[in-house]
Structure 1
Amino acid sequence: MSTKAERTAQYIIETVAPIFNKHGYVGTSMSHLTEATGLTKGAIYGNFENKEALALEAFKYNRNLLLGKIDDLLDANGDSLDKVYALINFYRQYDVFTMQMGGCPILNIGVDAQHNNSLLVAANKETIKEIEGKIALVIENGVKADEMKIPVPPLQFAKQLYTILQGAVAMATMTRDRKYLVNTMAYLELLVQKEIKK
């Protein structure tokens, strides 16, 4: 059973995670945090060493939500192609999934923190590597099971696939046009069907 302090810290993290994700590390003010949580500055910093520590925990919270969803898709029953299709389909609706998070944590924090928070940059980079690794494992298993063929090593293919997925997320975010997601995922499905599926 968690203590009152642990529950308060968790409440703060869950409440401020979308705020940091939406406004960025520098753009998130103390008034944003106190207004959202209903707590005083002292109460917030009684649970976290500083703003940087809180921002990192907020990112980890959003990251874990995303990784949990990706794990669900890639660990589901079915062959490797089913899992790749499930991932592509998820990214077709990615904006809906990340709406309550304040947008894509990988894109938002990755860009925002680049020149002002090295801990967030490192955590974001590690998350990207973890997602690429998960995709690579599915691809590798698919090649071993003779379900798919790829012209490059699995990790390289996973990086290329994730680059296309995140590129669509970036364009949809910047233009506020979800057709970038829909059209890119339709293209990826066609690519898998024609070039990768055995």
Structure 2
Amino acid sequence: MEKGEKTRKYIIAKAAELFNQKGYSGSSLSEITELTGIKKGGIYRHFSNKDEIAYEAFNYAGSVVGAQLAQAINQQETASGKLLSYLHVYENVVEAPPFIGGCPLLNTAIESDDCHPGLRERAQQALTGTLESIKLIISEGIQSGEFKSDLDIDALATFALSIMEGGIMMSKLEGNNRHIRMNIKSFANYLKMVCLSELG
């Protein structure tokens, strides 16, 4: 990797941490230069504006979380275990989130809802991709005979992601992991109800 590309990736990584902690609107280019040790001129050699940095930073944060999630999922053999992995990755969200600042999707979706169409679009794309991944796991669970055949795939995917994001938000706000952990237990109990193996 050439020096210029290394510098660009370094800027993206540091900006991603800043944006995910303070938000896009709450972060300045001056803070990025301070974090990276690179002057504004150096930043502008790699990016045309703050928006471009933000888009790349969001993608980077998502890839970091995605890699940890993929590792957690690959360690599971059942569809239920794979679905629960989405929540388990965030079970220590207060002290040790998979990416500093919490969930990039949640943070970006909330901040960009009405004020930044570009970031909102990227958050929407990430939402769609995440839901599709969850639906694929559910479909595989139905095909393998783990889940009931009449299970509503769309509804379960939305439920899974909603209780994950809701648990993250509440735990972060309260400064206590109990909400995400309660949701893990509740979701595990729910999945037992839709598993054919648990119904005898």
Scaled by the length of structure 1, what TM-score is found?
0.90
Task: Give the fraction of aligned pairs with identical amino acids, expressed as a percent.
Answer: 25
Query: Within 5 A, what are the aligned runs for 1:30-109?
Result: 30-76=29-75, 78-98=77-97, 100-109=99-108
| Map of 1:29 onto structure 2 | 28
CA contact (8 A) 1:13 1:57 kept: yes
Moved more, 70-79 or 16-25: 70-79
1:59-116: per-residue Cα shift (whole Å, max 9, x none)? 1100111122222333445132232233343232344553652221111111112222
Secondary structure of the structure 2 residue equivalent to 1:168: helix
Whichever residue aligns with residue 192 of structure 1, its letter is L
Indicate if the aligned counterparts of 2:62 and 2:104 stay in contact, CA closer than 8 A. Answer: yes
Matches within 5 A, 1:158-177: 158-177=157-176
**Cα contact 1:91–1:185 (8 A) shared by 2:** no
Structure 1 pair 99/83, CA: closer, same or farther in 2 (3 Å)? closer
Residues 109-155 of structure 1, C-alpha deviation per residue, up to 9 Å, x if partnerless?
A: 11112222211111111111111111111111111111112754313
- Higher mean alpha-carbon deviation, 81-90 vs 111-120, is at 81-90
Query: Is the counterpart of residue 134 in structure 1 residue 133 in structure 2?
Result: yes
In structure 1, C-alpha distance between the alignment counterparts of 2:150 and 2:156, rounded to whole Å: 8
SS, match of residue 113 in structure 2: helix
- Distance of 1:74 and 1:188 partners within structure 2: 16
* 1:67/1:131 contact within 8 Å kept: no
Separation in 2, partners of 1:174, 1:16? 23
AA aligned to 2:126 is T
Which AA in structure 1 matches 2:27?
A: T
Deviates more, 1:7-16 or 1:151-160: 151-160
Matches of 1:89 and 1:59, distance apart in 2: 22
Across the aligned residues of Structure 1 and Structure 2, the Cα RMSD in angstroms comes to: 1.8
